[in-house]
Amino acid sequence: MKRADAIGGLILFLFGGMVAGLAFRMPLGTFRLPGTGLFPFALGLLLMSLAALFLLSRALASKTDPKNRPPPGEAEIDLRQLLLFFGATLFSLFLLPLLGYPAATFLLLFFLLRTLGIRTWGLLLILSLSVAALSHLFFVEWLKIPLPKGWIGL
């Protein structure tokens, strides 16, 4: 069985169990008058059953089964680039209320562009500054979206 399938199936099984457990604490009612918890409880059990069936089917499948072979031509993942890109995006959300939209956008773009391989400092600065300014004009000044202003107050 592929490791991803085993992990995925197990996570879904446990998630189904958790949902069923939490729903069981709610009023289940009767079939005549279903309560708040009945539908999610049934869904939790259904997910557990499907996940168990999935794990079983994968465990029983022979190694020659195409589902158990790695897909052909699967592209390699640049994990470092991905983590830097996503990490910077998450970090910018902490900066957004503090620095305000234009400054946080500028920093985010600067970092994301550099992460993806734009190395020329001039181009990086021009791109980040112009996009941050244009998006501020478009979203804040024109569409009047109340994006966080932060300490700078823009």
Partner 1 sequence: MFESLGYLFNGFGIALTAGNLFYCLVGAIAGTLVGILPGLGPIAGIALLIPATFSLDPTAAIIMLAGVYYGAMYGGSTTSILLNVPGETASVITCIDGYQMAQKGRAGQALAICAIGSFIAGSIAIMGMVFLAPPLAEAALAFGPPEYFSLMLCGFVVLSNVTGGSFLKSLMMAVIGLIIGTVGLDPVTGDYRFTFGFTYLLGGIEFVAVAIGLFGIGEVLNNVAQTRELLDRRVIVPRLRDLYPTLDDLRRSIGSILRGTGIGFGVGLVPGPAPVIATYASYMVEKRISNHPDEFGKGAIEGVAGPESANNAACQSAFIPLFVLGIPFAPPTAVLLGALLIHGVAPGPTMLSEHPGVFWGVIASMYIGNFILLVLNLPFVPLFANILRIPKRILLPLVMLFCLTGMFSVNNSLHDIWLMLLFGALGFIMRKWRYEAAPLLLALVLGPKMEVAFRQSLMISHGDFALFLTRPFSCAFLAVTLLFLCLPGIKAAWKGIGRRLFNPEGGE
Q: Which residues bind partner 1 (CB under 8 A)?
A: 4-5, 8, 12, 15-16, 19, 22-23, 26-27, 30-40, 43-44, 46-47, 50-51, 53-54, 57, 64, 67, 71, 75-79, 81-82, 85-86, 89-90, 92-93, 96-97, 101, 105, 108-109, 112-113, 116-118, 127, 131, 135, 139, 143, 145-148
Identify which of residues 74 and 153 has a Cβ nearer to partner 1 in the complex. Answer: 74
Identify which of residues 71 and 122 has a Cβ nearer to partner 1 in the complex. Answer: 71
Q: Which residues of 144-154 are buried (b: 16+ CB within 10 A; e: fewer)?
A: eeebeebeeee
Question: What residue has token string 């390699």?
Answer: 76
Min dist. Cβ of residue 127 to partner 1 (A): 7
Min dist. Cβ of residue 35 to partner 1 (A): 7
Long-range contacts at 103-106 (CB < 8 A, ≥ 24 apart): 103/132, 103/150, 103/152, 103/154, 104/148, 104/150, 105/131, 105/132, 105/135, 105/136, 106/132
Identify which of residues 49 and 152 has a Cβ nearer to partner 1 in the complex. Answer: 49
Long-range contacts at 90-94 (CB < 8 A, ≥ 24 apart): none
Helix (H) or strand (E) run with residue 18 in it: helix 3-24
Min dist. Cβ of residue 93 to partner 1 (A): 6
User: What is the distance in angstroms between the CA of the first residue and the CA of the last residue of the chain?
Assistant: 55
Min dist. Cβ of residue 67 to partner 1 (A): 7
Min dist. Cβ of residue 134 to partner 1 (A): 10
